[in-house]
Chain A
Amino acid sequence: AQSVTQPDIHITVSEGASLELRCNYSYGATPYLFWYVQSPGQGLQLLLKYFSGDTLVQGIKGFEAEFKRSQSSFNLRKPSVHWSDAAEYFCAVLRGSTLGRLYFGRGTQLTVWP
């Protein structure tokens, strides 16, 4: 069964616009949640992580994400997108039962128009 769902394959926004990338997970307990970004020709870079505590987490590059247990969601947001944010974004989950194994969503490709 799919552990992580990213419903949007491709999103296009204008530079300066706000951004929200959706992520839903399926797991009974609270998982460990991550967002990674992949720029062309590069590996995955960690943007932010949620383990416990405050449900709004801040990451690098001005990104934040909010964990909502009731919706099984961990959406990534940025108030004002820059052209350099164009990349592919992956949500990932560590499940307690298989600790150490990351399950990735299929990714959301972000295009930024000038």
Chain B
Amino acid sequence: DADVTQTPRNRITKTGKRIMLECSQTKGHDRMYWYRQDPGLGLRLIYYSFDVKDINKGEISDGYSVSRQAQAKFSLSLESAIPNQTALYFCATSDSGNQPQHFGDGTRLSIL
């Protein structure tokens, strides 16, 4: 089983819908992250959490919210999806601030 699991892997939805992307990890890491990848732009940080009670905005948090339900679970929500949120979304985890991050396989989200 993958250490960092993202569900769903693919999602197509309509403008205005509420969407939740889920991430779970079995690595026992405290830190979890949500990134968005767009062609030619690399990965940009949406939100990050250093523990269950600590949530922080990243570079591009507008239009998104997150929930850290447990050490192992970190969900990303789009309250009212819009087409320019069409992208590939990645969840990542790390053990501490200077350790490499471990990535899930991504969720491809298309908003029509």
Contact = CB atoms under 8 A, between A and B. Distances in A.
Pairing of A with B = yes
Interface stretch (A12-20, A61-69, A77-85, A99-107): A99-107
A90 B90 contact: no
B45 A9 contact: no
Contact of A101 (B58, B103, B104, B106): B58
Interface residues of B, number: 25
Interface of B: 4, 31, 33, 40-45, 48, 50, 58, 90, 92, 94, 96-98, 100-106
Given A102-B92, A106-B42, 18 more contacts: A34-B100, A42-B105, A42-B106, A43-B103, A43-B105, A44-B43, A44-B92, A44-B103, A46-B100, A51-B98, A94-B97, A94-B98, A100-B50, A100-B96, A100-B97, A101-B48, A101-B58, A107-B42
